[in-house]
Amino acid sequence: MFTGIIQAVGEVAAMQPSGGDLRLRVNTGKLPLGDVALGDSICTNGVCLTVIELPGDGYWADVSVESLNFTTLGDLKPGSRVNLEKALTPESRLGGHIVSGHVDGVGEVVSLQQDARS
């Protein structure tokens, strides 16, 4: 589970196609990974991904063809910036909303309105 509040901005470092799926390498920038273990979840651009490797300055995750089809992760390229959030723990502060990171589809922004308060 996640709050939906971005903790850091990372960068796609590598992408390796794997039989229709994708292996994704993300450098996490300022997001500390000392408390992250293999099998933990990191929300990446709103999508819950499971950490399969921790090379030190980032993580590797497998992205299924289903996730590629129903999210924007398939549009990423090496160098793309991604929003990151580590999964909640029982001790986590709930400053946003409780969200799962399980994405059902992609919407389309049809208009924007400027608001000086946001």
CATH number for the domain that contains residue 37: 2.40.30.20
16-37 tens-digit pLDDT: 998 999 999 999 999 999 999 9
Q: Is residue 35 part of a domain?
A: yes
* pLDDT tens digit sequence for 82-97: 999 998 766 767 676 6
Domain ranges, residue 71: 8-86
Q: Are 4 and 96 in contact (CB under 8 A)?
A: yes
> How deeply is 117 buried, as exposed, middle or buried, from its count of CB atoms within 10 A (0-12, 13-18, 19+)?
exposed
Q: Looking at the domain assignment, is residue 2 inside a domain?
A: no
Q: What's phi and psi for 73, nearest 5 deg?
A: -60, -30
In the chain, the number of structural domains is 1
- Confidence grade of residue 100 (pLDDT, cut at 50, 70, 90): low
For the beta carbon of residue 67, count every other beta carbon within 10 angstroms.
20
Residue 81 lies in a domain: yes
Phi and psi at residue 78, in whole multiples of 5°?
-55, 130
* C-alpha to C-alpha distance for 85 and 105, rounded to whole angstroms: 20
Question: Is 75 inside a domain boundary?
Answer: yes
Residue 117 lies in a domain: no
